[in-house]
Amino acid sequence: MNSEFTNYVELAGSHKMAPHGERREGIDKGMPITISVYVRPKEPLLGLILGTGTKKLATLARGRYKSKHGATKSDVKKITRFAHHAGLSILDIDEVQRRVELRGTISMMEQAFKVELNNFLSEKGILYRGRSGSIRIPAELTGVVEGVFGLDDRPIATPKFQVLKSALKNNVNEGKQNSFYPNQLAEIYNFPSGTTGKNQRIAIIELGGGYRAADITNYFSALGIAPPTVVGISVDGAINNPSTSDSADGEVMLDIEVAGATAPGSLLAVYFAPNTDKGFLDAINAAVHDKQNGADIVSISWGAPESAWTDQSLKVYNTAFQAAASLGVTVCAAAGDSGSSDGVTDGLAHVDFPSSSPYVLACGGTRLIAKGGKIQSETVWHESSTSATGGGVSEVFELPSYQEEVNVPVSVNSNKKGRGVPDLAAVADPATGYNVLVDGDRLVIGGTSAVAPLIAGLIARINEGRNKNAGFIHPELYRNLSVCRDITQGDNITTPGNKGYKAGAGWDACTGCGTPIGSALEKVLKG
């Protein structure tokens, strides 16, 4: 008798809590589902990027990345042998992404990974598949498998955008709207002149919603800017699916219009994926490792508190961002819109992931008043407990070397040192927000969601001027804080226990290094 794959062990970091306050529904055990199994690299990237923080990162060519850090054929063979043993079909093998996609019925998956899957109905009426406890794998695969994604398909992230409402407090200019078009902000923040992001590819990750070509044409026509080339790309079956302006379409159009107006020469590749742990990760990897034309910059406006993720998710996602950095891809992510609580009501401070990854350029938010293209005042965005910039100290990721000299405070929760969030900031307060067109409706939208594509546009223009990708800019940014305008007023304290952070001179856990002076940042990165 073949004793292979009979001794099972827990997959480290895979433990997941059962959904709370939601009722269980029946589930069709014969329904086929697809999962992603991520395996270890030939050689780990550990230590390759962060180092001492004093050296520039030597980026890898894509072919060299695959040969050194892709999956080994022997590990892939182990997964395929396991799949055959469990009766699962091989849907796809990607050695660069180190991913093997398997397909089988729910019953087969439960048996293969020793889990129980059930349907749950959320309070918002969303039916999804969930699990609790840990995934188990054969002992022979210990160390080979880094993560299994797709067994549970509960929604994982929220978009970080907010539509301006008339009742917001502290209305600027005595109640008059003080909003901006993205190209105006490019001038206010001194983006490099004479550049458009030509020949750059900005990948935009979306976990819902869609765009309409007519909106893009009409919006850019009104600005007198040639519409950017926009390409929708399907990941895991998700598609461009526009509906109404009060949906996730607001996020999609905000991202496209901000990136397109600030870097109109760039190609915008919009990766649509399901809002699940698997979908989000697959979209990031698809963007970074695109076989046709890999991204130069990735813009992410979706996220969730670190506490909402499993350890395997945090590890495997972070490895994906590390891979991006090693390939010269800059990843920009929104830092959150609910202040120091990040929307969690446990009285503790939380930071949003993926912005808390040390390989991601975390984007915080400000409140901006400008006149005649000149900044009059800029402070931390903090309208209310549910409308304020995210930021703080990670409870998961250690203090990176590039932040050792900027006095990142210890966590207000644990007094531990950790990765400080954000790195940069720009206007995000809806009361001083962005003029956009969504499903034919003209809206003013804010949130740190807008900052991620704004900074992505800046990096695209810097890349064009350098004729080379800036990639992982953190060491240069933190050695040259003068390339940012320091924001020293305000706080992001939104927890019931008043745990949070205040702005001050230098780096702070509200606006990071400050708001970019684009031309100054370009000069440093060129140097």
Tell me which of 3.40.50.200, 3.30.43.10, 3.20.20.140, 3.90.660.10 is the CATH number of domain 158-526. 3.40.50.200
Across 121-135, 309-323, 471-485, least confident range: 121-135
CB 421 within 8 A of CB 509: yes
* pLDDT tens figures, 63-109: 888 899 999 999 999 999 999 999 999 999 999 999 999 999 999 99
Stretch 16-28: mean pLDDT: 80
What pLDDT is recorded for position 58? 64
Whether the per-residue pLDDT at 492 is higher than 60: the answer is yes
Specify whether 401 is catalytic: no
What pLDDT is recorded for position 25? 74
Whether the per-residue pLDDT at 53 is higher than 70: the answer is no
Share of the chain above pLDDT 70, in %: 94
- Please identify which of the residues 251, 277, 306, 337 carries the catalytic annotation: 251
What pLDDT is recorded for position 173? 40
Q: Kindly give the pairing relationship between strand 441-446 and strand 162-163.
A: antiparallel
Q: Which amino acid is at 157?
A: A
What pLDDT is recorded for position 525? 96
Q: CA nearest 511: which of 480, 482, 483, 490? A: 490
Q: Report cis status (omega within 30 of 0) of the bond before 354.
A: yes
CB 192 within 8 A of CB 518: yes
| Sequence-distant (≥ 6) Cβ neighbours of residue 360 within 8 angstroms | 300, 321, 331, 332, 333, 354
What pLDDT is recorded for position 57? 57
Helices and strands (H and E) in the chain: how many: 11, 29
Indicate whether this model's pTM tops 0.75. yes
Specify whether 22 is catalytic: no
Q: How many CA atoms lie within 13 A of 275 on its CB side?
A: 18
- Please identify which of the residues 266, 355, 357, 449 carries the catalytic annotation: 449
Tokens matching residue 498: 């008043």
Which element (helix H / strand E) includes 39?
strand 32-39
Confidence band of 3 (pLDDT split at 50, 70, 90)? low
Secondary structure of residue 30 in the 3-state scheme: coil
Stretch 335-342: mean pLDDT: 97
Q: Which amino acid is at 330?
A: T
Specify whether 449 is catalytic: yes
List, in sequence order, every residue forming a beta bridge with 158; answer none if it has no partner: 303
What's the CA gap between 143 and 113, in Å, rounded? 16
List every span in the chain annotated with CATH 3.40.50.200: 158-526
Whether the per-residue pLDDT at 320 is higher than 70: the answer is yes
* pLDDT tens figures, 422-475: 999 999 999 999 999 999 999 999 999 999 999 999 999 999 999 999 999 999
Question: Concatenated DSSP letters for 295-364?
Answer: -SEEEE-EEEEGGGS-HHHHHHHHHHHHHHHHTT-EEEEE--SBGGGTT--SSS---EETTTSTTSEEEE
Region for 89 from its dihedrals, namely left if φ exceeds 0, alpha if ψ lies in -120 to 50, beta otherwise: beta
- Please identify which of the residues 94, 215, 255, 282 carries the catalytic annotation: 255
Q: CA nearest 491: which of 379, 416, 343, 412? A: 379
What pLDDT is recorded for position 61? 87
Across 62-66, 226-230, 414-418, 507-511, least confident range: 62-66
Average pLDDT, whole number, for the chain? 93
Whether the per-residue pLDDT at 50 is higher than 60: the answer is no
Other residues' Cβ atoms within 10 Å of the Cβ of residue 230: 17
